[in-house]
Amino acid sequence: MDYNLDQGGPALNPEAPDSAADHKAAYVDNGTDTKDPSRYYSAAYKAREWERLWSRVWTIAGVASDIPETGDFLTYDLLHESFIIVRTGPGAADIAAYYNVCGHRGNRLVQADFGRVSGAFTCPFHSWQWTIDGALAHVTDAETFRPEVLAQAPDLVPVSLGIVAGVIFITMDENPRPLRDFLGPVADHMESFHVDKMNVVRHVRSEWAANWKTGIDAFYETYHLGSVHPQTQPIMGDINCQFDCYPNGMSRMIVPIGQPSPHFPDQETVNEGLQYMLNSVGLEPEAFKGGPRDVRPALASVKRDWSRQFGLEWEGLSDVQLTDSFATGIFPNVQFGMHPEGAFLMRFMPHPDDPQRFWYDTMTLVRHVDNPLFKVPDWMGLPEGTDCSGRERPDIERKATGEPPELGLVLDQDSELLPVVQKGLRSKAFKGPLWSEQEQRLRHFHNELDRYIEGEK
Ligand code: FES
Ligand SMILES: [Fe+2]
């Protein structure tokens, strides 16, 4: 295949105007050097990441639809730090974030993943209380404190918070750059998929014996699909993905869905995988007249009908957006796989103490459509009987180290692979990764990380 090396590979919709979500961004030349592999295992590097990256960057703390009512809260842990995200009122922006720590003796104030407080947060240690607006409301046996001590009793300490397309970002930076500047075109892409109208219907957190960046690297490319996930080849692109690199370490790949990989030997027949895709939108494979290249446009056409029938507001979406996977890298630690019907929000959450462990945290969101004729597609991989109404926020399903995430075969395969990659990264003989342009997002990500670690950002 002619790879268009100097333009960073193919464009899936060459006609797309600059403003379109599927427009191919100008190629970013990130050079050809490699990186010292110690970043994947060294404790010293991890300490620098804490100080120079995590303490300053915006990260995704949660999803606003998880806390719909005043007093609803969620907790978000980032390495050894923890935050409370709480709804303080009915407006879309009425959400606050605080460090999750009691100002009396440093206890972690809230331990639950989610909950609702009526009135105040109460510390379990000595029952001090704070309102949802962060004000100290009650000190137990206040008369036993000398006034000079009580005068130091703090309110909850806030952190900056921003919301884009219903996704909540926070930063510990006391003087952060505006969130939309940081996200760049990614913010518009999230909005174009109406992510704010989706709800989390499944949330799985599994622990993998690898560095968080080993995880990011594997999810930021499709180069390994043929080797590790050959079952994807009948219906999914790989070498023909569109890669786009944006400012501030953001990136994405658009993975064509509903057509065979150029590596797949059969390019002539509507294979079983494509038949499955036709079925998934209610088309009879037996009655389908076209060839394998006609499946993807047929899927897009059905989805356009759905948009009209169910009022989904997908009129602004191109065929590429309707059918393909927009796997978007939100620097530093997220891959957000967006589709009109739903999205996979994957966070690669570093372990607080061990640079060779991370949590692979996946929230599956779906667009709830109040019409019994509308079905959430099978390929989203939700277990039988999953409540997709958005009425009940599911608990986080936690998996032990080494236990597969049970999010489908592809992810189980990745969970087996990554600890093995992690072992190899420590070899004395390994001098650093050699990235192809199919792996350009990795180079883009690591160069941005270097700018933080080296103090340029
Ligand atoms: S540590 Fe929280 S009330 Fe004492
Ligand atoms: Fe994979």
Is the peptide bond between 340 and the residue preceding it cis, with omega within 30 degrees of 0? no
Burial annotation 135-157 (CB, 10 A radius, 16+ → b, else e) = ebbebeeeeeeeeeeeeeeeebe
Q: Which parts of 286-335 fold into alpha helices (H)? A: 295-310, 319-323
Q: Model-level pTM greater than 0.85?
A: yes
Name the closest-CA residue to atom 4, ligand 1: 126
Gap from CA of 372 to ligand 2 centroid (Å): 34
Give the closest residue to 326 by CA, choosing from 302, 342, 310, 304: 342
Query: What ligand 1 atom has the least distance to the C-alpha of 128?
Result: 3
In this predicted structure, what is the pLDDT of residue 419?
97
Q: How far apart are CA 345 and CA 322, in angstroms?
A: 18
Amino acid at 278: L
DSSP string, 64-80: GGGS-STTEEEEEEETT
Nearest ligand to the CA of 154 is 1
Gap from CA of 243 to ligand 2 centroid (Å): 17
In this predicted structure, what is the pLDDT of residue 401?
85
In this predicted structure, what is the pLDDT of residue 371?
87
Gap from CA of 227 to ligand 2 centroid (Å): 9
In this predicted structure, what is the pLDDT of residue 48?
98
> Which domains are present in the chain?
5-56+185-453 (3.90.380.10), 60-175 (2.102.10.10)
Top mutation candidate among 123, 138, 139, 152 for ligand 1, by most atoms within 8 Å of CB: 123
Q: Which residue has the tokens 């709804």?
A: 87
Query: What ligand 1 atom has the least distance to the C-alpha of 105?
Result: 1
In this predicted structure, what is the pLDDT of residue 373?
84
Gap from CA of 359 to ligand 2 centroid (Å): 16
Which residues' Cβ are closer than 6 Å to ligand 1?
A: 102, 104-105, 107, 123, 125-126, 128
- pLDDT-flagged residues of the chain (< 70): none
Name the closest-CA residue to atom 1, ligand 1: 105
Nearest ligand to the CA of 110 is 1
Q: How far apart are CA 213 and CA 445, in angstroms?
A: 10
Number of residues assigned to the chain? 457
Nearest ligand to the CA of 124 is 1
In this predicted structure, what is the pLDDT of residue 117?
96
In this predicted structure, what is the pLDDT of residue 402?
83
Query: What ligand 1 atom has the least distance to the C-alpha of 127?
Result: 3
